[in-house]
Amino acid sequence: MVPDKQYAVNEIFYSLQGEGWHTGTPAVFLRFSGCNRRCPFCDTDFSHATMMDAREIACACAAFPARHLVVTGGEPLLQLDSALLRVLKASGFFVQVETNGSLPVPPEVDWVTCSPKEPPYAIDRVDELKIVFQNQDVESVAGLFETPRRFLQPCSGSNVEETIAYILEHPHWRLSLQTHRFIGIR
């Protein structure tokens, strides 16, 4: 590990996981700056970044009581590497990454949430698939990823009824809501 390697961190905070398989789980969120996609519904302000090394990140995350860490962005796999993951794992973290699927996942990651946006995809494993539903052909996208855990999430909460109707007609999907927004937490 290069001890002085710097990572562009957008924010670190503590809350409940609001989406997908781990909804309701107390978690530390490590949000990196930067992304290789430009989604119109993205909720991340990429103009802010604090440069931190692996030990600083691990210490900041360990200041919270939970040991479930959600690494997100932007696209966290642009920065998340084995060196940082080893330091986080040494601090006792279960590491979940939320990725757009464009990059391979380091082997130290415990859980991979893939929310694919656009090809090409280079992801090599997926524990759960979470697609932001906008009436697109989700079946052909889902066919590219092997996982039985498949979630559809309304786009910014604007098409909840359409998403529910689709799931009722296609029961191999589950609903993922941004519950953190509904209950007013981060």
Q: Which two tokens stand for residue 167?
A: 């799931």
Structural element, H or E, at residue 165: helix 160-169
Is residue 29 flagged as an active site residue?
Answer: yes
Catalytic residue (choose from 43, 137, 146, 161): 43
Catalytic residue (choose from 19, 53, 98, 128): 98
Catalytic residue (choose from 44, 72, 113, 163): 44
Is residue 22 flagged as an active site residue?
Answer: no
Catalytic residue (choose from 39, 46, 94, 110): 39
Compute the distance between CA of residue 121 and CA of residue 21 in angstroms, rounded to an integer. 22
Is residue 124 flagged as an active site residue?
Answer: no
Catalytic residue (choose from 22, 32, 35, 128): 35
Catalytic residue (choose from 11, 23, 25, 42): 42
Is residue 114 flagged as an active site residue?
Answer: no
Is residue 44 flagged as an active site residue?
Answer: yes
Catalytic residue (choose from 19, 22, 29, 75): 29
Q: Which residues of 105-141 are buried (b: 16+ CB within 10 A; e: fewer)?
A: bbeebebbbbbbbeeebebeebbbbbbbbeeeebeeb
Is residue 155 flagged as an active site residue?
Answer: no
Is residue 161 flagged as an active site residue?
Answer: no
Compute the distance between CA of residue 168 and CA of residue 114 in angstroms, rounded to an integer. 22
DSSP conformation class of 52: E
Is residue 39 flagged as an active site residue?
Answer: yes
Compute the distance between CA of residue 119 and CA of residue 129 in angstroms, rounded to an integer. 15
Catalytic residues, which ones? 29, 35, 39, 42-44, 98, 180
